[in-house]
Amino acid sequence: MARRLALLLLLPALLPALHGCSSKSSDNSGNTAGASRDADSPGGSSAGAPAEPELPPFEKPTLAEVDAKADWQSMPVLDSLKLLHDELKKQKPLVSVKEALALKNDSTENNLKIRSGLGVQPESPADANFDATITRHILGDIKSTNGILVSSVEEGDLYSLTGFGLFTFDWNLKPFAIAEVVKTWQASADHMMDKVVLRDDLTWSDGKPITAHDVVFSFETIMNPKVPVPAVRSGTDKIRAIVAYDDHTLVYFHKEALASNVWNLNFPLIPKHIYEKSVQEDPTLVKTPYHQQQDEKPVSGGPYIISRRVRGSEIVVERRESYYMHKGKQVREKPYFKTVRFSVVQDPNVALLALKKGDLDEMQIMPEQWMTQTTDDDFYRSNTKARDIEWLYFYFGWNQKTPFFDDVRVRRAMSYTMDYKEMLDKLAYGLYEPSQGIFHKSAWMFPKNAAPPYQQDLDKAEDLLDEAGWTDSDGDGIRDKEINGKTVKFEFTMLCASIPLRVSICGLMKENLEKIGVLCNVRPIERTVMQQKLLDHEYEAQFGGWGTGADPSTLDNIFETDAGRNFGFYSNPEVDKLLEQGEKEFDRAKQAEIYGRIHEIIYEDQPYTFLYFQSAFYAFNKQLRGYWFSPRGPYHYSPGFSALWRVVQQ
């Protein structure tokens, strides 16, 4: 599912403040990778997304007719671990494992040495402890285990182990079909059809075969308007039909010839025999006791099954033999870990203590922790750490349907108000880089003449608020404005996840806003609660983050008018038009110009106050090997987490 919840392996990058994924992209196991007005005019006018042309009813052709019409071209079907092995063979380690373990990550040079020395794969199966358990840290609880309902990074990480899909992408964000499940993949020269043949040794965890009919059923369920899956539906809705010609042969028929069609194939799959009848009774997939039972102990298509789930505490998965064994024969690589335990620890400081005690094996660490709490012998006794650039940006998001942020001048005023220097230098310890918009400067679609990052300028902020009509009419020190005959004070609430750094950044913004007569009430809340409020648009402002999708076309599910995850009701007709053009352009250089222009427009409109790009900072137990970084961090691509392994203790 490598398009959107450029989420996990599959989906991780989904939700703001979780952080998010700007697409439904996935990684390796069947998980997948604006709004209401022209912001440049204060009054503005609503503009919907371009209407789709009506297509005649789909008439299913025979497979012979399909083959006769198509000029089939072979597409890549790859084993991601083998791909990584081949990459490692090209690179000589900078240091030995022993030398890497002795280093402290206190410089760029040592960081590269640690990653090179410990990012290795086992020289032989005997080097890996296949009976090992790994305990992973997650900041928030799992709300749903159903692949098509996944809506957070944590849920994506889980689904990447239990879920099933046909497509993924590597650390360079290049797509391919998964060799463990796909036999062949062909695309028609006109980009209107894809043909996939599944392997015949695939089973769900209850023993039922995985077939092409499961793919068709999953697609039809995702496209059912009664099923609440806006993130996964985005992109999938560009497919006109999927036909299963037998248990293993699928043909995807596209509505248009789009460069993004290669990504639109990637969506999560659910078992037809489990949900075929129940979805008719309960299309939400969550309300009935049957669906709640399935959520607790779902039928798995991936290498692991859920063995234990304690709400708010942990979720444990066990390797299933029927994934890699079929009729007494090993048909796929055996996953490195027997057990994976996800431990829910919402406070990063508590999590770091657990890591040092050995109760966690890995975690993402905050800037303060990197600089002050992971530098001594106590940390390095059992752990090490590594970092790399990640295309993950954080922002203040403004709900443009509120009376406060419907005017672009107000949003720009917000951006001039923030003290970026204090945020970056003090709160982030100089470890994060300022954001210049939706794309990182190292991305191929970053514009050549991008505007510089905002700097604090309270005079400009006040001038813009004055222009927008927000003045202090009654002299009480708080700006106000007459709206529909009523005086409204400029006082709003900022939602953020209950994570110390995020709360501190919101607190800094609160202090800055008070200097210009605006009141901001910071409200830290549990992330699953926040997630629902964003989906329901029940907020005024929020601190959020988006990770990159596997392809910039995935932006349409965030910034296109009326898109499912356009939480702030952003709308710009030019952006809508350019998003449509980008999907139809196959030339990479021209695509870069289109998406670069989208970047520029969104930065001009400031639906977000762009704060910083967060690099990937991770701590790992010294017994772990195989971590390899990408623009989506060490996990959210293929092989991602599947490349990690634990050494056999001597």
Pairwise pLDDT comparison (548 vs 186), residue with the higher score:
186
**Residue 7: predicted pLDDT:** 31
Cα angle, residue 178 at apex, residues 205 and 130 outer, rounded to 5° = 55
At residue 486, φ and ψ (nearest 5 deg) are -125, 135
Cα torsion 489, 491, 492, 494 to 10°: value is 170
Residue entry with tokens 């309270």: 458
The CA distance from 144 to 114, in Å, is 36
Q: Which residues of 377-395 are buried (b: 16+ CB within 10 A; e: fewer)?
A: eebbeebbbbbbbbbbbbb
Which among 56, 63, 62, 38 is positioned nearest to 48, based on CA atoms? 38
**Residue 46: predicted pLDDT:** 29
**Residue 53: predicted pLDDT:** 60
The pLDDT tens digits of the residues spanning 471-498 come to: 999 999 999 999 999 999 999 999 999 9
**Residue 104: predicted pLDDT:** 98
Mean pLDDT of 207-224: 98
**Residue 152: predicted pLDDT:** 84
Mean pLDDT of 515-524: 98
Which among 582, 504, 638, 565 is positioned nearest to 20, based on CA atoms? 565
Pairwise pLDDT comparison (178 vs 6), residue with the higher score:
178
Q: Is 436 helix (H, G, I), strand (E, B) or coil?
A: coil
| Strand residues in 502-629 grouped as ranges (E) | 519-525, 541-547, 608-613, 616-621, 624-625
Pairwise pLDDT comparison (363 vs 234), residue with the higher score:
363
The pLDDT tens digits of the residues spanning 264-281 come to: 999 999 999 999 999 999
The CA distance from 420 to 153, in Å, is 26
* Helix segments in 536-572, DSSP class H: 556-559
**Residue 159: predicted pLDDT:** 95
pTM (2 d.p.): 0.86
Counting Cβ atoms within 10 Å, is residue 53 exposed (0-12), middle (13-18) or buried (19+)? exposed
Mean pLDDT of 597-616: 97
**Residue 478: predicted pLDDT:** 97
**Residue 13: predicted pLDDT:** 30
Consecutive H or E run containing 158:
helix 153-162
Which of the residue ranges 27-41, 415-429, 438-452, 612-626 would you say has the lowest mean pLDDT?
Answer: 27-41
Sheet holding 193-198, edge to edge: 72-74, 182-188, 193-198, 249-254, 239-244
Which among 619, 644, 641 is positioned nearest to 161, based on CA atoms? 641
Counting Cβ atoms within 10 Å, is residue 352 exposed (0-12), middle (13-18) or buried (19+)? buried
Consecutive H or E run containing 136:
strand 133-138
Mean pLDDT of 73-80: 98
* Helix segments in 345-478, DSSP class H: 348-357, 367-368, 377-380, 408-417, 420-422, 458-467
The pLDDT tens digits of the residues spanning 230-270 come to: 778 888 999 999 999 999 999 999 999 999 999 999 999 99
pLDDT beyond 80 at 593 = yes
DSSP-assigned beta bridge partners for residue 362: 136, 620
Q: Which two tokens stand for residue 581?
A: 């053009």
**Residue 650: predicted pLDDT:** 61
Which of the residue ranges 147-151, 379-383, 588-592 would you say has the lowest mean pLDDT?
Answer: 147-151
Mean pLDDT of 550-556: 89
Task: Kindly report whether the peptide bond that precedes residue 639 is cis, defined as omega within 30 degrees of 0.
Answer: yes
Which of the residue ranges 2-16, 335-349, 623-637 would you say has the lowest mean pLDDT?
Answer: 2-16
Consecutive H or E run containing 592:
helix 588-605
Region of 437 please: left (phi>0), alpha (psi -120 to 50) or beta.
Answer: left
**Residue 562: predicted pLDDT:** 87
At residue 513, φ and ψ (nearest 5 deg) are -65, -35
Which domains are seen in the chain, by residue range? 392-616 (3.10.105.10)
Mean pLDDT of 546-558: 89
The pLDDT tens digits of the residues spanning 173-201 come to: 999 999 999 999 999 999 999 999 999 99
As a residue count, the chain comes to: 650
pLDDT beyond 70 at 590 = yes
**How many helices (H) and strands (E) are present in the chain, helices listed first?**
23, 27
pLDDT beyond 50 at 603 = yes
The CA distance from 438 to 434, in Å, is 11
Please give the mean pLDDT across all residues of the chain. 91
Round to the nearest angstrom and report the end-to-end CA distance of the chain: 39
The pLDDT tens digits of the residues spanning 13-63 come to: 333 333 333 334 334 333 333 222 222 222 222 233 345 567 888 999 999
The pLDDT tens digits of the residues spanning 375-405 come to: 999 999 999 999 999 999 999 999 999 999 9
Contact 541, 608 (CB under 8 A): no
Cα angle, residue 36 at apex, residues 34 and 40 outer, rounded to 5° = 85
CA distances from 299 to 13, 304, 317, 377 (A): 24, 10, 12, 44
Cα torsion 413, 418, 421, 422 to 10°: value is 160
**Residue 47: predicted pLDDT:** 33
